[in-house]
Structure 1
């Protein structure tokens, strides 16, 4: 896929200064493919990549010894639904407009560092109000200018005028700055043109707003906002670039229209019905369901005075989304890890693991959703998602056994990304 090539090329273009060999001693090494952990294992890192995984011996000559023997070593985590390059959610609907593109990028740099230190070494950033700030942040991280996870970015939202991807309720939308409306479309022709524009300006994949949103003024989650023809136009252009489109879709009708249009994944899927689940399974479409943040919105949003409309829509979707998630687990629908980080503070991404377990996954399944399965969704499973020779040396160390208590992933002791220790 184009997205993979672009990000991999950026990462390889800027190898860590003074790249060297590191010999990591693991207390327990988690094999996410089998869902088991092994003891007595060491990992030889050569530059950015894993050279060998083997029973421990003396470190090779010249290799730095890194003792993580007190920890379980897990592949670097992947969050497929984040908003690093944005102001974050709060009571002030106008905050994205009040924050300049430059300030937004600096906020993104902070969010990226916090996210990396929380153990998430790769993210998919699925949209920002200030279009293309995510592209700038991705490139700064890849160039070694700021610390952060590898980023796959959407550039902007493809959305209808006044839809769930617009900053509604602040000023008339046609008076918003141009960089806040890069993906606004009115028909299939415009959808095609805007999609091409985003790829031309650095997007790795495309994010469509197929239905209304919980956290957008004047839209309803169950309402279809993009037609199937408009979404098909986006999908076709994305495929021509060797990439894909994902769809923000809460409502059942919008989910099914997006699947028919050929999307690669569905974000949220809050109101998915049995037919939609069957369609997703048959088509091999991934669901990325943010089953944690509904509690944050209800508790903190209420305390902070978020718009009543947001709180009402959140209450109407949270429980039914979790029930849909449980059905998806039982029916074998493909599920990958995505949290909507930015709705809640960045760095708390791992809180969702416990919710996924509560709603039907085993700890091993939940961890795989955030490692090997997430890497597979972005088409990067040969380089990310597990601790194996040839892959990027992305690893975290946690105290305790995440296969017994997945919440230990909420407190990460050490982080390595591409052979560099970030924490």
Structure 2
């Protein structure tokens, strides 16, 4: 990923400052109040849904949740806009704990255009991916691998109301070792290798250097830290899927991030890397393809979350077989896809804590909801899968105070589907209504106007 240009950075920062200045001056805006009538309401995933309910949303926050269909004047909201969802099933906005928002869905096209595109082109792709992700019902995402300046610009543009998209928690570039999964110079020609090394502040060797790499991402605005404990399927290097970091390097990364108040996600496929990451104190392990009874026990002992990303292995294998990935990737994809689902089934049955994540960017943006059917296919109930994408994911992200359930004082991140996803979890692939922080992004299955009227 290329560094953002000075001109683009200036434009985005300027827009953010302009929005901030407007918010500070002039008369206080009138309260924006919306009353939502829900036919059924899963306000607290993991518990039984409520019947007919009313949600009062004021200035992007949930003010109250009441039984029955209450008129606006009966809930202190005379003159409020009323949204009729009386024939729909309403629940909290979904959370995807593992996304790559700037990855292009068309892998072959992206490869062919790689030498002609600039960072500005990538930003346009990311803006479109963010919009499609929100319209798919995902109101919060954790981006686990993007150019740090680009993803923080996108994050802040959404937060300032300049762009439509989900709330983003950004990791920036994943911390990796030389030649490891995440080293952008792997198997490039001389000129491209030199360019990758100029941008490679995420590459480290040795514990002290890995502390520096973590601090580099945090200094540019990272909300969370990701590191690659093992090889990866999509890195163009024949390094396998086993551990690629020493224990002291992993421990240095985790301790440094925690010192700065950042949670840590570890990419790990091989058993040795999963064990090392959990012993180092990570907050989540992504993929865990070759987990076993030992890693299940360690997950429960440490309290770390497992983010299975079940969509990714099959998608990556299909892409590699179609020629959209390298020969190195094809060999690893064959191995990972064969092992993943059975190992995920065992981990879920053993009681490991699960948080929803897709690795979208490998799969197509907007298809995030297809992960739910895969989770159910390996033993989770629809209720458990939904809880993983709301309550559990909010806990993993450290955002339980603001998202994950629909309660007074929380962000008005609300979606609806036509029928109960507790009976058919695939309903979550087609949300009919999406609200993000009180702003409607999708209504009656159609994209809402942006900026909102």
TM-score category (smaller protein):
over 0.9
Task: Spell out the pairing of 1:230-245 with structure 2 (5 A cutoff).
Answer: 230-245=249-264
Matched, 1:271 2:290: yes
Q: Which runs of 5+ in 2 are unaligned?
A: 1-16, 443-453
Which residue of the other structure, out of 35, 38, 41, is the alignment partner of 1:26?
38
Q: Conserved in 1, the CA contact under 8 Å of 2:238 and 2:328? A: no
Matched, 1:199 2:218: yes
Q: Distance in 2 between matches of 1:191 and 1:89?
A: 33
When structure 1 is superposed on structure 2, of 293-302 and 311-320 the one drifting more is 293-302
Q: Distance in 2 between matches of 1:94 and 1:249?
A: 29
Determine the structure 2 residue equivalent to 1:350.
369
Q: Conserved in 1, the CA contact under 8 Å of 2:45 and 2:383? A: no
When structure 1 is superposed on structure 2, of 383-392 and 55-64 the one drifting more is 55-64
Q: Distance in 2 between matches of 1:17 and 1:234?
A: 45
Task: Spell out the pairing of 1:162-241 with structure 2 (5 A cutoff).
Answer: 162-167=179-184, 168-172=186-190, 174-177=193-196, 180-241=199-260
Q: TM-score, normalised by structure 2?
A: 0.86
State the 1:223 CA deviation.
2.1
Matched, 1:383 2:402: yes
Q: Distance in 2 between matches of 1:319 and 1:107?
A: 32
Larger radius of gyration: 2
Any idea what SS the aligned residue of 1:38 has?
coil
Q: Distance in 1 between matches of 2:398 and 2:45?
A: 16
Task: Spell out the pairing of 1:15-54 with structure 2 (5 A cutoff).
Answer: 20-54=32-66
Q: Conserved in 2, the CA contact under 8 Å of 1:86 and 1:105? A: no
Any idea what SS the aligned residue of 2:379 has?
coil
Task: Spell out the pairing of 1:9-408 with structure 2 (5 A cutoff).
Answer: 20-55=32-67, 56-59=69-72, 60-88=77-105, 90-91=107-108, 98-128=116-146, 130-167=147-184, 168-172=186-190, 174-177=193-196, 180-303=199-322, 305-408=324-427
Any idea what SS the aligned residue of 2:322 has?
helix
Q: Deviations over 1:120-167 (max 9, x none)?
A: 000000012x44321111111111121110000011110111211023
Any idea what SS the aligned residue of 1:206 has?
strand
Any idea what SS the aligned residue of 2:432 has?
strand
Change (3 A) 1:178 1:17: farther
State the 1:116 CA deviation.
0.4
Any idea what SS the aligned residue of 2:107 has?
coil
**Aligned residue-pair number:** 412
Q: Distance in 2 between matches of 1:271 and 1:163?
A: 18
When structure 1 is superposed on structure 2, of 384-393 and 286-295 the one drifting more is 286-295
Any idea what SS the aligned residue of 2:36 has?
strand
When structure 1 is superposed on structure 2, of 179-188 and 368-377 the one drifting more is 179-188
Q: Conserved in 2, the CA contact under 8 Å of 1:27 and 1:70? A: yes
Q: Distance in 1 between matches of 2:348 and 2:44?
A: 17
State the 1:98 CA deviation.
4.8
Q: Conserved in 2, the CA contact under 8 Å of 1:51 and 1:390? A: yes
Q: Distance in 1 between matches of 2:345 and 2:170?
A: 29
Q: Conserved in 2, the CA contact under 8 Å of 1:84 and 1:111? A: yes
Q: Which runs of 5+ in 1 are unaligned?
A: 1-9
State the 1:88 CA deviation.
4.9
Q: Distance in 1 between matches of 2:170 and 2:250?
A: 18
Change (3 A) 1:47 1:179: farther
**What do you get for the CA RMSD once the two structures are aligned?**
2.2
Q: Deviations over 1:246-280 (max 9, x none)?
A: 11010000110111111111011111121111111
State the 1:86 CA deviation.
3.4
Q: Distance in 1 between matches of 2:118 and 2:209?
A: 27
Any idea what SS the aligned residue of 1:371 has?
helix
State the 1:412 CA deviation.
1.1
Q: Distance in 2 between matches of 1:131 and 1:243?
A: 15
Q: Distance in 1 between matches of 2:84 and 2:409?
A: 22
State the 1:305 CA deviation.
4.0
Change (3 A) 1:73 1:207: same
Q: Deviations over 1:180-227 (max 9, x none)?
A: 412000111111111111111100011101100001111445321111
Q: TM-score, normalised by structure 1?
A: 0.92
State the 1:307 CA deviation.
2.4
